[in-house]
Structure 1
Amino acid sequence: MPTPSRILVPVDLMEGSRAIIDYAVQLATPFNASIEILHAWEPPQYVAPDLLVAAPGWNPQSLEKTALDAARKELEVLIGGFKGSVPITHRLEVGEPAAAVIRVAEVGGFDLIIMGTHGRRGLPRLLLGSVAQKVIARAHCPVLTLHVPEEK
């Protein structure tokens, strides 16, 4: 089996994302593999993504632009501590997270996906689905999942 050279790390920017990236960096370092951090923003089902968000004294902008700007800032802060150990890039995608991960992995020629799973069971899993499960079922390359404990 070939060693990984391009690793895709999807994150939800929630608790545990830093631990997932840290693990990916530790795994990538001996192989000098590059890492791309991916965050997929899914527009809410109940409002249009071009809905304008405004406050007094502030230029109105679309919900999508506001959400992507906030996610971009969070990603930059999140990966700021990892610069220099291995090549790390980041990107944002709009769409259903599992589909975005599959698309980016295939188009980008990644040979490993490292992602977290919250391990939900019962009704929460039924309502929220499992992005990791969908990615594992459809990915063209190996997927390594790490359990991310739920916040207390």
Structure 2
Amino acid sequence: MPTPSRILVPVDLMEGSRAIIDYAVQLARPFNASLELLHTWEPPQYVAPDLLVAAPGWSPQSLEKTALDAARKELEALVKELQSPVPITHRLEVGEPGAAIVRIAETGGFDLIVMGTHGRRGLPRLLLGSVAQKVIARAHCPVLTLHVHEEK
């Protein structure tokens, strides 16, 4: 199996994302691999993504633009804070996370996916699904999952 040269790191920008990125950086370093952070925003099914969001002092903008702008700022701050020894890029996608991760990994020529899993069980897993499980089942390349411990 060839060594990885391009690693895709899907992040949900919740607690634990930094630990996943740090692990991926340490994994990439000996191989001189590059990382691409991917955040996927899935529009709520009960609200139109072009719904206008407004607050005093703001000009109205769509829910999608608001969500993507916030995620972009958070990703940029995260990358800046890392001061990584390996090249890191980032991107945002709109759509169902599992499908988007698999599509980006394949079309982008990634050798490895490093992602977190929350380890949900029961009703939360039934309602939220398992993005990691979907990616593992459909990815063309190896997938390394890391358990994300959530604060209680």
TM-score over 0.5 for the alignment? yes
Pairwise CA RMSD of aligned residues? 0.8
Q: How many residues align?
A: 152
- Where does residue 28 of structure 2 map in the other structure? 28
Q: Does 1:49 align with 2:54?
A: no
| Whole-angstrom distance in 2 between the partners of 1:64 and 1:83 | 29
Q: Is the 8 A contact 2:25 2:84 kept in 1?
A: no
Q: Does 1:15 align with 2:15?
A: yes
Q: Once the two structures are aligned, what percentage of the paired residues are identical?
A: 87
Q: Is the 8 A contact 2:29 2:86 kept in 1?
A: yes
**SS in structure 2 at match of 1:3:** coil
- Where does residue 122 of structure 2 map in the other structure? 122
| Whole-angstrom distance in 2 between the partners of 1:111 and 1:34 | 10
Deviations 1:80-123 (A, max 9, x none): 12234000000000000001101100110000000000001111
| Whole-angstrom distance in 1 between the partners of 2:133 and 2:58 | 41
| Whole-angstrom distance in 1 between the partners of 2:117 and 2:70 | 23
| Whole-angstrom distance in 1 between the partners of 2:3 and 2:29 | 12
Structure 2 unmatched runs, 5+: none
Q: Is the 8 A contact 2:38 2:93 kept in 1?
A: yes
C-alpha deviation, 1:21, in angstroms: 0.2
| Whole-angstrom distance in 1 between the partners of 2:79 and 2:145 | 19
**SS in structure 2 at match of 1:81:** helix
| Whole-angstrom distance in 1 between the partners of 2:97 and 2:131 | 7
| Whole-angstrom distance in 1 between the partners of 2:116 and 2:84 | 23
**SS in structure 2 at match of 1:86:** coil
- Where does residue 109 of structure 1 map in the other structure? 109
C-alpha deviation, 1:56, in angstroms: 2.2
Structure 1 consecutive aligned stretches of length 4 or more whose deviation exceeds 4 Å: none
C-alpha deviation, 1:151, in angstroms: 2.4
- Where does residue 99 of structure 1 map in the other structure? 99
| Whole-angstrom distance in 1 between the partners of 2:57 and 2:105 | 41
- Letter of the structure 1 residue corresponding to residue 103 of structure 2: R
Deviations 1:39-79 (A, max 9, x none): 00000011000000011221000000000000001111112
| Whole-angstrom distance in 1 between the partners of 2:38 and 2:129 | 19
- Where does residue 136 of structure 1 map in the other structure? 136
